[in-house]
């Protein structure tokens, strides 16, 4: 009598074991390492913007002074010391003698650092500027403007341009 032995499971298990050996990553017993540095240099940096001053209608005959404000916004790197200066404008001869112009006509005005309008705002560092220290977020500073009374000027639209300088 002929005996038939079924060998399929043995062959299948042998093939599966062989495939597992072939597909398995080789075992490694050693490693090496290294390091690298990561760095950056943070530098002092600032941004500045400002709103316009619009005095509205000046009535020279009624002899009243006219006040208006602007906001200067400064954003500087954390712990950066800075100073904000305002120049004399296009029509003025100095920061204490600012003038808006309409052709050859002049209308005097002043810019101050304080709400009482007693401290002129100029551009001489540590003298008539405003100092601050950066926080990383925008900081607002008020500019207090005034047109003095009793100016004998012609009717018309007067203007000037002030340059804001942040020194850091």
Per-domain residue ranges of the chain: 46-167
Percentage of residues of the chain with pLDDT beyond 90: 79
The predicted model gives 123-137 an average pLDDT of 98
DSSP letters, 25-93, are PPP------------------EEEEEPPP------TTTT--EEEEEEEEEEE-TT-EEEEEE--TTT-S
Q: What phi and psi, each to the nearest 5 degrees, are found at residue 118? A: -115, -15
Question: What per-residue confidence (pLDDT) applies to 123?
Answer: 98
Question: What per-residue confidence (pLDDT) applies to 27?
Answer: 73
Q: 46-167, what's its fold?
A: Immunoglobulin-like (2.60.40)
Higher-scoring residue by pLDDT: 12, 122: 122
The Cα–Cα gap between 143 and 86 comes to: 10
Higher-scoring residue by pLDDT: 23, 148: 148
Question: What per-residue confidence (pLDDT) applies to 63?
Answer: 72
User: What does pLDDT average to over the chain?
Assistant: 89
Is 117 a residue whose pLDDT tops 90? Answer: yes
Is 15 a residue whose pLDDT tops 80? Answer: no
Question: What per-residue confidence (pLDDT) applies to 61?
Answer: 81
Question: What per-residue confidence (pLDDT) applies to 54?
Answer: 97
The answer to whether the pTM exceeds 0.85 is no
Query: pLDDT band at 4, cuts 50/70/90?
Result: very low
Question: What per-residue confidence (pLDDT) applies to 24?
Answer: 60
Q: Which residues pair with 66 in a beta bridge?
A: 147
pLDDT digits (tens, 9 = 90+) for 29-64: 899 999 999 999 999 999 999 999 999 999 888 778
pLDDT digits (tens, 9 = 90+) for 60-113: 887 789 999 999 999 999 999 999 999 999 999 999 999 999 999 999 999 999
């Amino acid at each position: 009598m002929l005996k038939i032995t079924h060998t399929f499971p043995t062959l299948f298990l042998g093939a599966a074991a062989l495939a597992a050996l072939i597909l398995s990553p080789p075992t490694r017993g050693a490693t090496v390492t290294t390091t690298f540095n990561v760095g950056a240099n943070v530098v002092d940096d600032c941004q500045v913007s400002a709103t316009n001053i619009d005095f509205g209608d000046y009535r020279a005959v009624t002899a009243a002074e006219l006040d208006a404000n602007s906001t200067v916004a400064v954003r500087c790197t954390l712990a950066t010391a800075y100073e904000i200066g305002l120049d004399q404008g296009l029509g003025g001869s100095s920061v204490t003698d600012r003038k808006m112009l309409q052709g050859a006509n002049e209308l005097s005005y002043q810019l101050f650092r304080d709400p009482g309008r007693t401290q002129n705002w100029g551009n001489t560092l540590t003298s008539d500027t405003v100092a601050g220290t950066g926080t990383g977020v925008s900081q607002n500073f008020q500019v207090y403007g005034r047109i003095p009374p009793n100016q004998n000027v012609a009717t018309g639209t007067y203007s000037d341009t002030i340059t804001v300088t942040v020194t850091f």
